[in-house]
Amino acid sequence: MSFTTILSVIRCDHADSDLRAAVELSRSSGAHLSVLLLAIAAPPPLGEYAEHVSVAWLEERDADRSKLAERSTKIKDLLQETEVPHDIVDIYTEWTYVDNVVARQARYADLLVIGPELAADSPLKSAVVDGALFHSSVPVLIIPRNAIPTLKPHSVVLAWNDTPEAAKAAKQGLEFLKAASKVHGGMVDPEPGIEQPGAEIGIYLARHGVNFSADVLRSDGRTVAETLKQYADDVAADMIVMGAYGHSRMRERIFGGVTRSMLEHPSRPVFLAR
């Protein structure tokens, strides 16, 4: 899958690091950059003092819209200087609608990029990931702080467990896998009785020219996420490619899960597909 349109979601009150990361990705790949600039409204006042507070609340909303317009103009000026083909949409919305707003824009992109500042903003990051993966089926690339934004990593870990989500991640992440000099298939505690774990995905990737090898990883009391992160450290991976949310979102939210754990404080770019 080639990424001809990259969508970057930026919060209005964040700095320019996320924008710079998205520009670098778009420039290096020749992709069109779409920017979704979000301002999120404070909830309306409730209770017996609502009538007295409502005027101040409305004034705050007007001020937020003005800040959004100013920030949008500055980003347009910055993008003009980069000579990267681009467009920008600025939207003032409520928290409860963020995932749907993201989804509408993501439907016209090949990849959604979450930069360092958004990656550190957990509530917004979760809403953005939900909007991309569940409402538009667009893969997400998370770029943490101090990571190099690139679509051509040298070493990649493919988290493999023979599920539809993992298969979709491998297919949608083929551009990364083909660019890498080595792809390491990490399989944590595979089901017993499988003679050659990872053989099928290895054959599939070989047809695409991917240099792939599979490794069985024993968790030994660690979580799957901890095991994968350690494996990525051991092979000096530049990126992890993985399927997202093998369980339902509700189960993931209640009990936690590999996806949520991998999204917490990533030390390298993580590519998610579902």
pLDDT bin (cut points 50, 70, 90) of residue 194 is confident
pLDDT tops 60 at residue 103: yes
What is the pTM (predicted TM-score) of this model? 0.91
Between 193 and 69, the higher pLDDT residue: 69
The 10s digit of each residue's pLDDT in 9-19 is: 999 999 999 99
Instruction: Give one word for 204, left, alpha or beta, with left for phi > 0 and alpha for psi -120 to 50.
Output: alpha
Which SS3 state, helix, strand or coil, does residue 247 take?
A: coil
Region 146-170 average pLDDT: 93
**Cα gap 182→211, rounded to integer Å:** 5
Report the percent of the chain where pLDDT is more than 90: 74
170-202 CB burial, b ≥16 within 10 A, e <16:
bebbbbbbebbebbbbbbbebeeeeeebbeebb
Residue 272: per-residue pLDDT: 94
What integer pLDDT is reported at residue 46 of this predicted model? 65
Domains of the chain by range and CATH?
Answer: 5-142 (3.40.50.620), 155-273 (3.40.50.620)
Residue, of 257 and 1, whose pLDDT is higher: 257
Q: What is the pLDDT of residue 61?
A: 86
